[in-house]
Amino acid sequence: MKSDKRAQILLLAVILLLALGVRLLTFERHLPYVDYADEANMFLLAVDWRGDFPLADAYGAGLTGARLAGYPPLYPWVAIGVQHVVEAVSTESFLFSGDYVYGLRLLAIIAGVLTAAALWVIGWTLGGVVAAALSALVWALSPVVVEWNSLAVPDPLVYLASGWTLAFALWAWHKNAPAWTLPSLVCAVAAIYLKYTPLHVLVMWGGAVVVLLLRDWRRTLPWLLLEGVIGLASAAYLLFGYGALRLENDEAMRVDPAMALNMERGLRNLEGTLLPVGVWLFVAVGGVALIVYAYSRRRSWPVVDWRKALYLVVVLVVGVVSVSTFIGIEPYSNQMRHVLPVAVVVIGLWGMGASQIAAAFRAINRAGMALVAAALIAALFTGAAVRGDLALIQRFEQPDPRYELWQWSDASLPPEGKILMFPDSTLRAVWNRPYSGYDGQTAFDWAFDTAPYQSTPQALYEQGVAYFALTGAEQQAALRNPDMAAFLDQLLLLNVMTTVPVPDLPETIYFYRLIPPQVEANALFAEQITLVGYDLDVAAGSVFIRPYWQAQASPAANYSMFIHFTEPDTLDPLAQYDGAPASARRPATSWQPGEILIGTDARIDLPPQLPPGEYQLRLGLYNYETGQRLLLGDGADAYMIDVEIPGNVP
């Protein structure tokens, strides 16, 4: 017996380690880019509730707090605690929203592992070690669970609370011990304090209480009275102390009791609860288990407790119906998080069915066959699950193109104006620090417009809009609109960023500057770098010039730029500029072929009492280590720019 117990503990430990491992390999997703908007909402809600966050006003946390007034309070409380822990352990002088999301995702990992432990207990009470191992294995490895079990939102904690509500309820039933219904109720209250929607947890707790009352009402009644007081106090605080009825978020406003019995919604939501196991695997194991159960009863062989199965079915129906009041999910989408609290019931039922099949083999003294049957069922699930997990790991190993966009823009762009986007673009939050986790040194503002072609690029630029960003899909749609295509033709395409295809993420991003260079040059240096054009201005005793560069091939060295101000047909500079051709964070060796770099804003102060007249700028590139200059196609080592100095320049 002791060896069996040790083997079971070892098996549980292995399953929990698998749960931990696959979550550690996927939980970062695309951090530091925060790719899930609800994580940003929870971050801002906690910031608003704290009252001591330095950038709360700048981040607009008060607006989020007002919009989510009445939101279930437990997760914001938890998030505040995690924020304080992150600040206490971090060595960084400034933290971004992605840093806080990272901490909460680690908490979600712990919740996921503990939920797998709850599934072990659930399975154990339903069908022994076979049901326990299979149930825990599903929560540990199912890709549908793994993908949505490590986010910085309330849902992973709801899964945990839902799982342990059922685990404690079944344990109380299994041990005929009413005391265990108390932690079941506490977990149920926690689930509702995390999100108001998982009302099925009350049926989990209540069903076990009813069974125990029927068995021994004298032992159970005192616990029920205590739990009634706790439940009423919890409800009273939510309704009258906290003000839960104030909530008007999307889910709250979608609640429609009339949809509870909508068959289409119900079937979609039911399908969602089956997906962690797999619809066909659940149906196959369940169908065989029903046949084996009926045959075993006729032969008086051991069978699972049909009352527990009926109890789980009732909880499942209530859970599906309650979800249907506010949503009909799209399977495999992010809406799966709404049905996963109910999926713990389905997983328990499936494990129960598998244990019934194994029990039939043991009844005919075929313990080896029982083990083979359980192993076969486990293999059928695990094979598909591991393939899905590997695909998930590979998916999250790919960089989010929006993260690459913010790195590029931070290092490459002068903050000369807002970045224009379509209102529903997947790029809309890229430069929004609290929502995307943007950690760049350069701060950008943004603007939205559904039809920018109704204005002109010049007019938009004068209104403070300097750039335009759109995805490949948006670019294709824009080119199908003649007015929009004509608008794009007037812009300067700075970069086309293409990445490995990742589901739900843009494969290609187009980034434009609204205004092209004032003067077109198209001068090619050493077959490597083209001077596309430049902006030129003379004012207050200085010449201001901004070049625009494009690499034709990867530059061979980190070239420097010289600009000499000379009299016509002479080489002796009257004034000069020497420095990086573009941003110091974009040395020439980092330039990508085809990309246009907005160059350094160079200022050349003119000599005092300079006579008015015609002068020249000699602009070129050189290797600062060797002093060797890059030559143009005609052999010249500089591009000549005529400059007229007016008489009123001091």
And the tokens for 85? 């822990």
In this structure, the answer to whether residues 292 and 192 fall within a common structural domain is: yes
The kind and range of the H/E element at 579 are strand 573-579
Q: Compute the distance between CA of residue 624 and CA of residue 255 in angstroms, rounded to an integer.
A: 67
Is residue 369 in a domain?
yes
Q: Are 530 and 549 spatial neighbours (Cβ–Cβ below 8 Å)?
A: yes
Does 650 map to a domain? no
116 inside domain: yes
Per-residue pLDDT band for 252 (boundaries 50, 70, 90) equals: low
pLDDT at residue 500 is higher than 70: no
Euclidean distance between CA atoms 138 and 144, whole angstroms:
10
The Cβ of residue 516 has, within 10 Å, a number of other Cβ atoms equal to 18
pLDDT of residue 21: 97
Are 623 and 529 in contact, with CB atoms under 8 Å apart? no
Query: Residue 266: in which H helix or E strand, if any?
Result: helix 263-274
- Does the structure show a pLDDT above 60 at 600? yes
pLDDT tens track for 399-417: 888 999 999 999 999 999 9
Q: What is the pLDDT of residues 555-584, one digit of tens each?
A: 989 999 999 999 988 889 999 999 999 999
Whether residue 151 contacts residue 108, with contact meaning beta carbons closer than 8 Å, is answered with yes
| Identity of the amino acid at 209 | V
Determine, yes or no, domain membership for 585.
yes
Q: Are residues 66 and 180 in the same domain?
A: yes
- Report the domain count for the chain: 3
- The verdict on residue 75 lying in a domain is yes
Tokens of 414: 């002068």
Closest among 46, 102, 100 to 75, alpha carbons compared: 46
Statement to judge: residues 32 and 95 lie in one domain? yes
Do 316 and 432 have their domain in common?
no
Mean pLDDT, residues 458-470? 96
Residue 3 confidence class, pLDDT cut points 50, 70, 90: low
- Rounded to the nearest angstrom, the gap between the alpha carbon of residue 579 and the centroid of all alpha carbons in its chain is 40
- For 236, counting Cβ atoms within 10 Å of its Cβ (0-12 exposed, 13-18 middle, 19+ buried), the class is exposed
504 domain-assigned: yes
pLDDT of residue 266 exceeding 80, the answer is yes
- Please report which helix (H) or strand (E) contains residue 125, including its range: helix 97-141
Provide the residue range defining the domain that includes 584.
519-645
pLDDT over 60 at 12, yes or no = yes
The CATH number linked to 559 is: 2.60.40.2550
Is the pLDDT reported for residue 503 higher than 80?
A: no
251-265, 284-298, 542-556, 577-591: range with lowest mean pLDDT = 251-265
Do 93 and 212 lie in one domain? The reply is yes
**446 & 576 share domain:** no
* 370 and 419 housed in the same domain: no
Residues 6+ apart with CB under 8 A from 641: 519, 534, 536, 545, 616, 617, 618, 619
Mean pLDDT within 230-239: 94
pLDDT at 505: 67
Instruction: State the alpha helices, DSSP H only, in 299-441.
Output: 306-324, 340-363, 367-397, 401-412, 433-436
**480 shares a domain with 347:** no
Domain for residue 247, yes or no? yes
With left for phi above 0 and alpha for psi between -120 and 50, is residue 278 left, alpha or beta? left
The answer to the question of residue 201 being in a domain is yes
Distance, CA of 205 to CA of 165 (rounded, Å): 7
Average pLDDT, the chain: 93
> Which of 341, 374, 397 is the last residue before a domain boundary?
397
* Among 118, 60, 98, 131, residue whose Cα is nearest residue 277: 131
Q: Report the chain's C-alpha Rg in angstroms.
A: 33
What pLDDT, on a 0 to 100 scale, did the predictor assign at position 501? Answer: 67
The residue from 513, 533, 555 where one domain ends is 513
Q: Give 156-207 pLDDT, tens digit per residue.
A: 999 999 999 999 999 999 999 999 999 999 999 999 999 999 999 999 999 9
Tell me, what's the pLDDT at 507? 80
Q: Are residues 391 and 410 in the same domain?
A: no
- Are 195 and 299 contained in the same domain? yes
* Mean pLDDT along residues 504-518: 89
- CA 247 vs CA 65, 191, 236, 243: distances in Å: 11, 17, 16, 8
Model confidence at 5, in pLDDT bands (50, 70, 90)? confident
How far, in Å, CA of 5 to CA of 2, rounded?
A: 5
Residues 199, 300 within the same domain: yes
Our separate counts of H helices and E strands in the chain read 21, 14
Residue 251 pLDDT exceeds 70: no
Q: Which two tokens stand for residue 341?
A: 């609290």
pTM to 2 decimal places? 0.91
Are both 385 and 413 inside the same structural domain? no
Is 464 a residue whose pLDDT tops 90?
yes
User: What is the pLDDT averaged over residues 352-370?
Assistant: 87
Q: How confident is the model at residue 506 (pLDDT cuts 50, 70, 90)?
A: confident
Q: Tell me which of 485, 513, 541 is where a domain ends.
A: 513
With a cut of 70, say whether residue 139 has pLDDT above it. yes
